[in-house]
């Protein structure tokens, strides 16, 4: 059994893919919204008639509320990504859950609803996850991470990771952040073109 399958087996209550027999893929974007990158993502998704899910940092929502509202107004799904982009493995359960709640409050203060959560870095403890799941929030992981944030990986390699692994029901991670901008823009455009016969959908659970 490979490492990915082993990890998924240990955390079966977390969502790694969306079970589907249809030709559909679920694009997700972490760490936004920011005015330097997110508007380009929205424009590109509109051009390809694609929907996606944005796991937003609460502090960025607070700084850019109109941009956050635009994401929702254009029909995309919103997910909680903590308020301060915390690493759950390095944060006490109490502090982590308070940060999750603060992000959720920020989302809801903008008249947006969300019942999905993604831990920054993919890292939260079992205690943290248990509490989040009990609050009727789904923890959304992924089966493909583009690694667009990695400055040592070429934009072509980011796209090839997706092209070689994507299948119906795949959840793909991109980042609408300055760090990932260069690789993400290339890989996203190529993904939308390569899988043009697929439907790109938002996550609804």
Return the active site residues. 30, 175
Cβ-in-10-Å burial (0-12, 13-18, 19+) of 88 comes to buried
Question: Alpha-carbon Rg of the chain, whole angstroms?
Answer: 16
Cβ–Cβ under 8 Å, residues 87 and 120? yes
What residues pair up with 140 in beta bridges, in sequence order? 15
> CA torsion, points 10, 15, 16, 18, in degrees to nearest 10?
140
Cβ–Cβ under 8 Å, residues 167 and 195? no
């Amino acid at each position: 059994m490979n490492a990915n399958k082993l990890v998924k087996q240990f955390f079966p209550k977390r969502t790694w893919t969306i079970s589907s027999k249809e030709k559909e893929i679920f694009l997700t974007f972490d760490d936004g919204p920011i005015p330097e990158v997110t508007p380009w993502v929205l424009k590109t998704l509109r051009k390809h008639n694609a929907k996606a899910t944005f796991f937003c940092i609460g502090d960025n929502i607070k700084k850019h509320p109109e941009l956050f509202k635009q994401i929702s107004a254009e029909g995309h799904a919103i997910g909680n990504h903590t308020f301060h982009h915390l690493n759950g493995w390095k944060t006490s359960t109490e502090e982590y859950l308070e940060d999750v709640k603060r992000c959720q409050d920020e989302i809801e203060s903008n008249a947006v609803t969300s019942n999905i959560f993604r831990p920054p870095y993919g890292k939260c403890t079992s205690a943290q996850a248990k509490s989040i799941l009990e609050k009727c929030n789904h923890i959304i992981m992924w089966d493909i991470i583009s690694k667009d944030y990695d400055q040592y990986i070429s934009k072509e390699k980011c796209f090839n990771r997706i092209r070689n692994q994507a299948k119906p029901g795949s959840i793909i991670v991109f980042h609408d952040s300055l760090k990932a901008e260069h690789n993400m823009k290339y890989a996203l455009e190529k993904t939308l073109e390569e899988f043009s016969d697929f439907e790109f959908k938002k996550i609804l659970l």
